[in-house]
Amino acid sequence: GMSLALIVADLDHFKQVNDTHGHGVGDDVIRNFATILKTACRQNDIVGRVGGEEFCILLPNATQEMGAMVGEAIRSAFGRFEHCDSANEPFFLTTSIGVAELRPGETYLSLFRRADIALYEAKENGRDRICRADKDESRRILEFRQKLA
């Protein structure tokens, strides 16, 4: 079967941007982020905005690890990006990212939920990072094999 990965990305402290700099600057930030997403993605990847500051990328023919690599490219590029406030002063922002890989027979809703939980974990662990939904997949397989041995 074809592998498929999902990235869920959320701008850190975005409400603060709108509150401090106004919605015009907030809109610029969203546009800048969307541009970075499109640049980091491959041609067949599907980018969508799912909330105010939350974006989804569906990556056909990609494993969780490939998704994490794309996520890292997004995270580092966005972190280096110089945003401008209304007084033309530069400021920097970060993004938190969750990534998951579709399991056999899994629904898209379940995949999204797992990527979203990974995103929440990235936020909880200090933001500006990527969390994988299946961080202990290989460890579980190893433990299972040891039980069988």
Our answer to whether residue 121 is catalytic in this structure is no
H helix runs in the chain, sequence order: 14-21, 23-40, 64-80, 108-124, 137-148
Q: Using CA atoms, how far apart are residues 9 and 53, in angstroms rounded to an integer? A: 8
The rounded radius of gyration (Å) of the Cα atoms in the chain is 17
Q: Using CA atoms, how far apart are residues 19 and 85, in angstroms rounded to an integer? A: 12
- The residues annotated as belonging to the active site are 53
